[in-house]
Structures are given as structure tokens and as C-alpha cells.
Structure 1
Amino acid sequence: MNAAIPPLDLGWLLMESPGGTTHVGAMLLFKKPPGRSSLVREVVEAYRGYRPQPPFNYIPELLGGGVPHFREVDSWDPHYHVQHLSLPTHSTYQDLLRLIADLHEPMLDRHRPMFRCWLIDGVPGGRFAIYTKTHHSIIDGVSRLRKLYEGLTPTDEPAIPTPPFAMPHAPPEPSAPTPALRRLTHAIRGAVTQLGAVNQISLSALQKTLSAALGSHLEGSLPFVAAHAPTNPPPRQARGFATLSLPVHEMHRIGHQHGATLNDVAATIIDHGLHAYLRETGQVYPHEFIAMCPVSLRDDGDSAVGTRVSAMFVRLGRPEASIVDRLRQVVHSVATAKAELGAMSADAAMTYAVALITLAGAGATTHLDRIGHPACNLVISNVPGGNEIRYLNGARLLGIYPVSALAASIGLNVTLSSYCDHMDFGFVANSAAISDVPALAEHTRKAYAEFRSKTRVL
């Protein structure tokens, strides 16, 4: 069976390069119960006994055979797609992070189903990890995390549910045949809507380009107006990875006291930590960073295959700002960008994302992004998580850390997701941009501690 590739998902495929990969991943960290030495091997063997289901059995065909499409395949190599590793004796948690970074580096093989999974034993503290990556063209971050949670159990019984890649995809609801005239009407209406969306986006982009040329201070969503930062070197394949966990309810309370959301607080401490890291490494950046913040367009219960996102491009705080002033600046920028995106229809928002991905990909392919403005300086994303404790074969899930994509000379991606009472951050960087990603995570933690010290936490 073949399925046409939607424009946004096609963009993820066309813009990809060895240095700018567009797969998304996650590291799940588990605590093994005592006396279960074979626990990880049991999960590996169970997972290899399943077969991938759509979209995890898709292979893209971009040339020949008409329009670009996904083709379903029946064959797969379970030992390639589900691998069992173990860290050497006396390894550290940092060794695990370095291994995850190495596994995250290479592109997925497009001649095989576009997902892979590694179960990693020997993590210190009686723990093990699962690292999985999937191409962004077949699933977005929200859907991926939902499936990861569905692949776990709410009790500590030694049960191994169906792995995410083998879960059946809900078929679309049947609909009555549509008369030819109505189909034609819908097609014309869709084309007009898309044309209107393009016009809406083009007018806004032209206004901002002219304003930038005149030296005006720009407001709203700001793609392709960022100055080149240390986070925007030409992409390389080498990756760095680090994690951070913070108390999610406390973050909510701190944000509430300042009239801010949890996302505002997260963006502020990442921004503050990044400026501190660059000062420490002699790479002072004298401008405000512009961060791309993906926005999910999925309704509750939406499980459609592919990517359904748009994005805001948010100006962060001034380099010299205090942590509290930085939050105020971020709150203002997010509000204006959110208002601009909110004024778009869903069609316009999707077209906006397609246009930006296309432009960013074209800039990276032609190297024009090295002389023009990059799309942004970094990506900050929040993927909805879960509130309940989860288990796998009796092992408790301790945390779930996103390991996201890097593409188009955007050398830093910080994605966060809540789990139970903490917010888990995954920092992924092009090593040419950030050479010591754990140090950046530590500066972000210190920024939060500074913020907390200046706020009365109830």
C-alpha cells in the first residue's frame, strides 16, 4: 500500500543531510527491581517478536512512480531495529549520554523502516535505558511520546506491552462516497485557502523584512531575522547530549507569581544559561537569541500519521538582563508571537510551517544561510508528558528525556517533557556549536536556582 507524503513531511525528508538530521528520539531511563538480572533481555526478545505497523513500516520513495509517497514493506530485520547493548563495568551516567549522542548522530537508512531502538543495560545505580529514534516525516514529537507511554504499564507487574512501533494505527473513520461536484468544490476551496494562507504569510514576511532593513525593532514571530550566533555554525555530524530534571509544580508556581507560563520559565532559564555558557567559553553574544518554538496543531485524540505542527519564532531576553527582567521580556515576546500565529487559520499555520521548512532547507542546501540570516538561533520545545508512574516488565520509569532533531544550521535544540512531578530536559547540540553540552545544562540548572532564590516559592 502507498500513501502520499504530505508537504510538511516531505520537507523533513528533502532538507535532511548527514550534518542536519531530521529524526526525533527519546531516552527512557528505568530502575530495575532487585533480582531481575534477565529483565532487559526479556524485553529485547519480546520486542523482536513483533512486526512494525504503519507508519513504522514506511519507506519513502521520492523519485519515480509519480508523486513522492511512502511504501509499506513487510520485511524487517528485528536484530537491526531492536538492539541490545550494555555499558562496560564502572561506566558513569555521562558515558550513557555520550553513547546516546553517538547513536543519535547518523541518518536513518531510508531503504529500511525509519526507526531504531536500543536497550542499554549496565547504567549505574541498577538502571537501564531505552533510546529510540524515528524519522520526523512519519511521526511528530507529540504522537511519538504518546506511543512511548502507551508502550508502558501503570503497575509494576512483570508485563511487556506491545512496543510503540508495533501498535496498530487507528484507521480513518469510513465516510460516504463524495459526489464528483462536491469533491471539485472542496478541491477549489482548498486551493483558494492555501493561496490565501501564502498571501497572508508573504505580506507579513515582506513587512518584517522592510522593517528590519530600516532598523526597526520587530515584534511577533520572527523567522529569518536572527543574527548569526555561536549556535549557527555549518552543521556537522557530531552531536552532544545532556539531561536535566527540575520540579515541575514549583516551576508552575514560580511562573504564576510572575504572570508567566511554565514554558516562559523554561525558555527564560535556557536563555539565561546559554548566555552564561557562552560568556564562560569566551563566545559572548551581544544580541537577543531568537528561538523557534514548535506548536502542535493536534486536537485531543488526534492520532493521524505524520506531522501536524506550526511554529513561533520568539525573541528572547537581552544579553545583560537579570533573570527576572529576562522573564518579563520573554513573556512579552511569546504573547505577541502567539497572537500572530493565533490569527492564522489552521491551514495558514500549516502552510507557514511548510514554507519555513522549505526556505530553511533551501538555505542549508545552497549555503545561503551562511551569509544571510539563519531561520533562528535555537529550538525550544515542550512536548506534553504524563502524570502517572509507568513501568516496563516491572522496572519503574524514572524519566523520559527528548533527543530531538538538528537541521539547517540550527545547532541547539532543547526539548522538555513532564513526567510525574518533574520536568525532563533533553539538550541536543551540534558539537561545532556547543562543545560541552553538560556544562550548558548545568548553567541552565544554575539559572533556575538563581530564579528560585529571587522568588518566594509557596
Structure 2
Amino acid sequence: MNAAIPPLDLGWLLMESPGGTTHVGAMLLFKKPPGRGSLVREIVEAYRGYRPLPPFNYVPELLGAGAPHFREAESWDPHYHVQHLSLPAHSSYEDLLRLVADLHEPMLDRHRPMFRCWLIDGVPGGRFAIYTKTHHSIIDGVSGLRKLYEGLTLSAEPAIPTPPFAMPHPKSEAAAPTPALRKLTHAIHTAVTQIGAVNQISLGASRKALSAVLGSHVEGSLPFVASHAPTNAPPRQARGFATLSLPLQEMHRIGRRHGATLNDLAAAVIDHGLHSYLREVGQDHPHEFIAMCPVSLREDGDSAVGTRVSAIFVRLGKPEASMVDRLRQVARSVAIAKEELGALSADAAMTYAVALVALAGAGASTHLDRVGHPACNLVISNIPGGNATRYLNGAQLMGIFPVSALAASIGLNVTLTSYCDHMDFGFVANTAAISDVHALAEHTRRAFAECTAKTRVT
């Protein structure tokens, strides 16, 4: 069975390169209960007993007869797609992060189903991890994390649910036959809507780009007006990965105190940490960073295959701003950009995303992004999480850290998600851009501590 590849998902495939991979993933960290030495092996064997179902058995066909499409793979190698590793004795948590970074580096093989997962035993503290990656063309962060949660239980009793890659995709309700005239009318209306969206987006983007060239201060969503930053170094395959967990209740308290959202606060502490890190390594950036912040277009219950996202491009805080002032600056920028995106229809917002991916991919493949303005300086994304404790074969899930994509000379991606009482951050960096991503995560933690202290005083 074949399935057409939607334009945005096709974009993820076409723009990918060894240095700019477009798969997304996550590292799940578990605490083993005592006396369960074979627990991880049991999960590995159970997972290998399943077969992948759509979209996890999809293989892309971009060339040849017909339009680009996915075909379902006829066979799969369970030992390739589900691997069992163990850290050497006396390994550290940082050793786990280095291993995940190494596993995250290479492109997925497009001649096989486009997902892989590794179960990693021997994590210090009686823990184990699952690292999984899937191509962005068949899943986005929201639907991907939802499937990861569905593959866990709410009980500490030993049980191994169906793994995410083998869960049946919900069948959509069969639509009533549509008369030919109505189909034609709908097709014309859709085309007109998309052309109008492109015109609306193009005019707005052109106006902002021209204003930026002339030195004017522009606001709203700001793609392709960012100054070149150390994070825009030419992409290499090597990756760095670091994690951070912050208390969710305290984040809520600080946000409410300053009229900001969790997303605003997360972006502000990342921004503050990045400026501090670059100053420390002698790469001080004298301009405000522009961050791309993906926005999910999925409604409740939307389980469509592929990616359903758009994005806003947010001006972050001034380089010299205090943490509290930076939070207020970021909150204002985000509000203006959200209002601008909210004025678009869902179709227009998707068209916007397709156009941005196409432009970013073209800039990266021709190296024009090295002489012109990059799409942005970094990516900051918040994926909705869960507040209930989860388990796998009796092992408690302690944290879930996104491991996201790097593409188009954007060398830093920080994706976060909430779990129980904490917010888990996953920092993925092009090591040519950020040589010590663990230090960056530490600077981000210090930025949050500074914000906490200042908020208690004021």
C-alpha cells in the first residue's frame, strides 16, 4: 500500500543531509525496581516480537514513476531496529549522554523503516534508558510523545505494553462519497486559499526583511532576519546532547509573577544561558537571538500521520538584559508573534511552514545561508507532557528528554516537555557551533536560579 507524502513532510526529506539530519527522538530514563536483573532483556525480547505498523513501516520513494510517496516495507530486522546496549562498569550519566549523542548523529537508512530504538542498561543509580529516533516526515513531536506515553503503564506491576512503533493507527471515519462538482469546487477553493496565504506571508516577510536591512526595529514573527551567530556555524555531523530538569511548580510561580507563560520563561532562561555561555568561551554575540518556536496545529484527538506544525520566529532578549528584564522582553515578543500567526487560517499556517522549510532547505543546500540571513539562530520547542507517573515492566519513568533535529545551519535545538513535577530539557547541538553543550545546560540552570532569586526579592 502506498501513501502520498504531504508537502511539509516531503520538505523534511528533501532538506536532509549528513550534517543536517531531520529525525526526532527522545531519551526515557527509568529506575529499576530491586531484584529485577532481567527486566531490560525482557523488554527487548518483547519489543522484537512485534512488527511495525504504519507509519513506522514506511519507506520513502522520491524518485521513479509517479509522485513521491511512502510504501510499506515488506520485511524488517528486529535486531537492527530494537537494539540492546549496556554501559561499561563505572560509567557516568555523562557517558550515557555521549552515547545518545553518538546514536543521534547518523541519518536514518531510507531503505528500511525510518525508526530505531536502543535499550541501554548499566546507567548508574540502578537505572536504564531507552533512546528512540524517528524521521520527522512520519511523526512530529506532539504525536511522537503521545505514542511514547501510550507505550507505558500507570501501574508499577510488571507489564510490557505494545511498543509505540507497533500500535495500530486509528482509522479515520469513512467519508461519504463527494460529487465531482463539489470536489472540483473544494479543490479550487483550497488553491485560492493557499495562493492568498502565500501572498499574505510573502508580503509580510518581504516588508520585514527590507525593514531589517534598513536598520529598522521590526516585530512579530521574524524568519530570515537574524544576525549570524556562533550557533549558525556550518553544520557537521558531530552532535552534543545534554539534559536539564527544572521544578515545574516554581516555573509556574515565576511566570505568573511576571505575566509570562512557561514557554516564555523557558525561552528566557535558555537565551540568558546562551549569552552567558558564549561570553565565557570568548564568542560574545552582540545582537538579540531569533528563536524558531514550533506551534502544533493538532487539535485534541488529531492522530494524523506526519507533521502538523507551523512556527513563530521570536526576537529574544537584549544581550545585556537582566534575567527579569529578559523574561519581560521575551514575553512581549512571543505575544506579538503569536497574535500574527493566530490571524492565519490553519491552511495558511501550514503553507507558511512548508514555505519556510523549503526556503531553509534551499539556503542550506546552496550555502546562501552563510552569506545571507539565516532562518534563525536556534530552535526552542515545548511539547505537551504528562502529569501521571508512568512505568515500563515495573520500572518507574524518571524523566523524558527530547532529542530533536538540527538542520539548515541552525546548530542548537532545545526541546522541553513536562513530566510529573518537573520540566525536562533536551539540548542538541552541532559541536562546531556549541563545543560544550553540558556547560550551556549549566548556564541555563544558573539563569533559572537567578530568576528565582530575583523573583523572591521583588
TM-score tier (shorter): over 0.9
Query: Is residue 319 from structure 1 mapped to residue 343 from structure 2 by the alignment?
Result: no
**Who is 1:84 aligned against?**
84
| Helix, strand or coil at the partner of 1:215 | coil
Deviations 1:288-320 (A, max 9, x none): 000000000000110000000000000000000
In 1: Cα distance, 2:108 partner to 2:332 partner:
39
In 2: Cα distance, 1:171 partner to 1:301 partner:
12
In 1: Cα distance, 2:34 partner to 2:361 partner:
49
Note the 1:265-344 alignment, pairs <5 A. Answer: 265-344=265-344
User: So what's the TM-score if we normalise by structure 1?
Assistant: 0.99
Structure 2 letter corresponding to 1:179: P
Structure 2 letter corresponding to 1:366: T
Structure 1 letter corresponding to 2:320: E
Task: Confirm or deny: 8 A CA contact 1:250 1:457 kept in the other structure.
Answer: no
| Helix, strand or coil at the partner of 1:260 | coil
Structure 1 letter corresponding to 2:278: L
In 2: Cα distance, 1:73 partner to 1:101 partner:
28
**Who is 1:45 aligned against?**
45
Root-mean-square deviation (Å): 0.9
Displacement of 1:214: 1.9
Task: Confirm or deny: 8 A CA contact 1:20 1:235 kept in the other structure.
Answer: yes
Deviations 1:232-271 (A, max 9, x none): 0110000000000000111011100000001100000000
In 2: Cα distance, 1:279 partner to 1:209 partner:
28
Deviations 1:199-240 (A, max 9, x none): 110110121122112211010000000000000011000000
In 2: Cα distance, 1:137 partner to 1:210 partner:
33
Displacement of 1:400: 0.1
In 1: Cα distance, 2:318 partner to 2:19 partner:
30
In 1: Cα distance, 2:457 partner to 2:352 partner:
39
**Who is 2:61 aligned against?**
61
| Helix, strand or coil at the partner of 1:44 | helix
**Who is 1:135 aligned against?**
135
| Helix, strand or coil at the partner of 1:270 | helix
Task: Confirm or deny: 8 A CA contact 1:22 1:135 kept in the other structure.
Answer: yes
Note the 1:335-374 alignment, pairs <5 A. Answer: 335-374=335-374
**Who is 2:205 aligned against?**
205
**Who is 1:229 aligned against?**
229
In 2: Cα distance, 1:156 partner to 1:181 partner:
56
**Who is 1:245 aligned against?**
245
In 2: Cα distance, 1:127 partner to 1:148 partner:
18
Deviations 1:406-454 (A, max 9, x none): 0000000000000000000000000000000110000000000000001
Going from structure 1 to structure 2, the CA distance change for 1:242 and 1:457 (only over 3 Å counts) comes to farther
Task: Confirm or deny: 8 A CA contact 1:253 1:457 kept in the other structure.
Answer: no
In 2: Cα distance, 1:451 partner to 1:179 partner:
60
In 2: Cα distance, 1:342 partner to 1:11 partner:
23
In 2: Cα distance, 1:154 partner to 1:180 partner:
49
In 2: Cα distance, 1:356 partner to 1:304 partner:
21
Instruction: Please identify, of 170-179 and 234-243, the stretch whose mean Cα deviation from structure 2 is larger.
Output: 170-179
**Who is 2:5 aligned against?**
5
| Helix, strand or coil at the partner of 2:226 | coil
**Who is 2:440 aligned against?**
440
Displacement of 1:386: 0.3
Note the 1:120-269 alignment, pairs <5 A. Answer: 120-269=120-269
Displacement of 1:457: 9.1
Structure 1 letter corresponding to 2:413: N
Task: Confirm or deny: 8 A CA contact 1:254 1:457 kept in the other structure.
Answer: no
Deviations 1:20-43 (A, max 9, x none): 000000000000000000000000
Task: Confirm or deny: 8 A CA contact 1:292 1:376 kept in the other structure.
Answer: yes
| Helix, strand or coil at the partner of 1:272 | helix
Count of aligned pairs between the two proteins: 458
Using the aligned pairs only, state the percent identity: 84
Deviations 1:156-201 (A, max 9, x none): 0100000000000011111111111111111111111111110110
Going from structure 1 to structure 2, the CA distance change for 1:457 and 1:69 (only over 3 Å counts) comes to farther
Task: Confirm or deny: 8 A CA contact 1:3 1:70 kept in the other structure.
Answer: yes
Query: Is residue 398 from structure 1 mapped to residue 403 from structure 2 by the alignment?
Result: no
In 1: Cα distance, 2:251 partner to 2:90 partner:
35
| Helix, strand or coil at the partner of 1:453 | helix
Unaligned runs of 5+ in 2: none
In 2: Cα distance, 1:363 partner to 1:33 partner:
50
In 1: Cα distance, 2:380 partner to 2:210 partner:
27
| Helix, strand or coil at the partner of 2:455 | coil
In 2: Cα distance, 1:33 partner to 1:302 partner:
35
Structure 2 letter corresponding to 1:108: L
In 1: Cα distance, 2:457 partner to 2:279 partner:
29
| Helix, strand or coil at the partner of 2:229 | coil
In 2: Cα distance, 1:448 partner to 1:215 partner:
32
Structure 1 letter corresponding to 2:448: Y
In 2: Cα distance, 1:86 partner to 1:58 partner:
29
| Helix, strand or coil at the partner of 1:397 | strand
| Helix, strand or coil at the partner of 1:455 | helix
User: So what's the TM-score if we normalise by structure 2?
Assistant: 0.99
Unaligned runs of 5+ in 1: none
| Helix, strand or coil at the partner of 1:12 | helix
**Who is 2:101 aligned against?**
101
**Who is 2:75 aligned against?**
75
Structure 1 letter corresponding to 2:245: S
**Who is 1:20 aligned against?**
20
| Helix, strand or coil at the partner of 2:183 | helix
**Who is 1:118 aligned against?**
118
| Helix, strand or coil at the partner of 1:415 | strand
Query: Is residue 380 from structure 1 mapped to residue 380 from structure 2 by the alignment?
Result: yes
Structure 1 letter corresponding to 2:256: H
